[in-house]
Amino acid sequence: MPSLSNINIKIGDAEVIPSATIRNLGVVFDATMNMSNHITSICKTVNFLLWNLSRIRRFVTEDASSNAMRALVLSKIDYANAFCLDVEAKTLLSLTKTTKPCCPHYLPSSTPHSSSPLLNSLHWLPIDQRICFKVLLYIYKTLNDLAPPYLSDCLTIRVPTREGLRSNQDLTPL
């Protein structure tokens, strides 16, 4: 199989040069589909947002800081994170490290604290659990007719073909 760098495409007099990555609706894809380029892009954006928020933190209330953090930072992390469902833990580690600086924005003092109790009090899930929760939420909404039709069309509900099997009992309501 030829690599992308060896492919030459000419359209008229113009030559089209293949790219190692593509961006579609803000998600960066590459040939290996390991999402590392997308996660790197998110980390850069989140670090920039955190830097800007840290500059104004002393001028706003804790509630305003919390709202800004949710609206700006967490929305960037949560956007299209379902693509990262099967990503290796070491690849997600950079994204997890990026969210650690979110915690000092909520602390009134400058003394170092563990971020875990604060994340629990803010009801923030770790990155891998956020991804899993979002996918499960999509499935729940699809099963309960709360999702748009394009999601409902992707999910097929198993209907047993034979009666009297133990697996048929799984479909009965609790």
Collapsing DSSP to helix, strand or coil, 61 comes out as: coil
pLDDT at 41: 92
- Spell out the per-residue pLDDT of the chain, length 174, in tens: 455 567 778 888 888 888 888 899 989 988 888 888 999 999 999 889 988 888 888 898 888 887 888 888 888 888 888 888 888 888 888 888 877 666 555 544 445 555 566 566 666 788 888 899 999 998 899 989 898 888 888 888 777 677 766 665 655 454
pLDDT at 119: 62
Structure tokens at 62: 């804790």
DSSP annotation of 159: -
| pTM (2 d.p.) | 0.70
Q: Tokens 């899930």 map to which residue?
A: 125
**DSSP-assigned letter for residue 56:** H
Cα-Cα-Cα-Cα dihedral sign, residues 23, 46, 39, 7:
positive
Give residues with Cβ within 8 angstroms of 120, minimum separation 6: none
Q: What is the pLDDT of residue 86?
A: 85
Residue with tokens 């209330």: 61
Structure confidence at residue 99 (pLDDT): 72
**pLDDT value, residue 44:** 92
- Region of residue 55 (phi > 0: left; psi between -120 and 50: alpha; otherwise: beta): alpha
Name the DSSP letter for residue 70: I
Q: Where are the domains of the chain?
A: 17-129
What pLDDT, on the 0 to 100 scale, is given for residue 9?
A: 83
